[in-house]
Structure 1
Amino acid sequence: MQQIIDWVVSVMESVGGPGIALAIFLENIFPPVPSEVVLPLAGFTAAGGRYTVVEAVLWATLGSVTGALLLYGIGAALGMDRLRAIAQRMPLVDVADIDKTDVWFTKHGPKAVFFGRFVPGIRSLISIPAGIDRMPLTAFLTYTTAGSLLWNALFVWLGYQLGDRYHLVEQYMDPISKVVYALIILAVLGVLVWMIRRSMRRSHDPDDRVEL
């Protein structure tokens, strides 16, 4: 982690605002680069006069949106038809599961994209189902930008206020992130157990179509 921080510092010092955008872009597609470290560090650097807080937030948001667009493009390239074809070859998974998820995302996608930007582990990945669902690009950009702007502004401001104690943000966020990751893992395990039990029921009774 220290090597990552040192690299981010060097990038910000050498190229300024674009370095923030690059670091946050990488955070979107490479989770080991945590925004909880990069953004307060950008605020701390802004306090030193390298750039303004507003510039730091705008550059960070540009990086967030660019990374989200890349993941959206990956999801769009995969598409719902390919996802259904993959589901047909996967054990435990029904095509109906994919269709239900698609219906849910079509209905709640904007809220999922906006609020997903505040959830560790979900913040980046939420762009992929948005792309698979082919959410209108204007809506995707609007909700992604709004959520990213709020998230980035908060952590850049905290880093600016804390100065050389900016690392305290990551220390306080780390336990929260771990709890969120644990809940995500438990939810995934819960769905997996349900799918296994469904498969076992169907192996005994092929006509059993009990759904979640």
Structure 2
Amino acid sequence: MSIFSYHLVKIPFIVAIKGLFFKPINKNTKGLIHSEYMTAMTLGSPILSPSRFLIRQVAIFAQWENEQALENYLKNEKFGKILIKGWHVRLSFMREWGNISGFKIPDLKAELESPSSPVVAVTIAKMKPFAVPRFIHWGRPVEKLVRDHAGTLLSLASVRLPNTVSTFSIWKTEEEMTNMVHGHSVMPKPKRHSNAMKERERKNFHFEFTTLRFKPLSELGTWKGKENFIPNIQNN
């Protein structure tokens, strides 16, 4: 059964620059279905700020034929040995809204043990160039909502030029995440996300867009000096 993985790692500047032009994970890697290499950003940060584009901090979102394929890549491949020095979470697919090319969405869907179990959300979008200013106008308030939400354990954005943007968030419970999505959070201006979705339905920002929901299986490593972001799961 295929699994997904989400990696965060700080890499040398030269490696990061090369990654902007050439994906460091070969698409022909044995057991790899698809991967996205992106540069990390701070959710809600000003557009023209150093925290908006963190060149040495990268996010890798990948799908593998099975967990052994991921293990082999991390142990045996040059970039895999860099990734293992960072942090990553292994994920089992639950739900998809929209669609994105490259990934193969499994027919088999995981289920959480209980409504109080943690959940992971990943969004990926391929932007329409002329829609970027409108997307920023509607998107940054949503970024701040997710960043500041009491229900998130870890959240960030990422980008790959020219047109790929993504978000990643770990939530304490699925209920807290869905309440945020539908504008029912106990937060200032709770409808920021639902309003942005209405604007997207009115006039789409993207060529492709998907929101993926996952059950976290295990996590490994540290990110910015922290570990064990997700309670009650295996830490490899």
Could you say which TM-score interval applies, normalised by the shorter chain? under 0.3
- Normalising by structure 2, what TM-score? 0.19
Greater fraction helix: 1
- Normalising by structure 1, what TM-score? 0.21
Decide which structure has the larger Cα Rg and report it.
Answer: 1
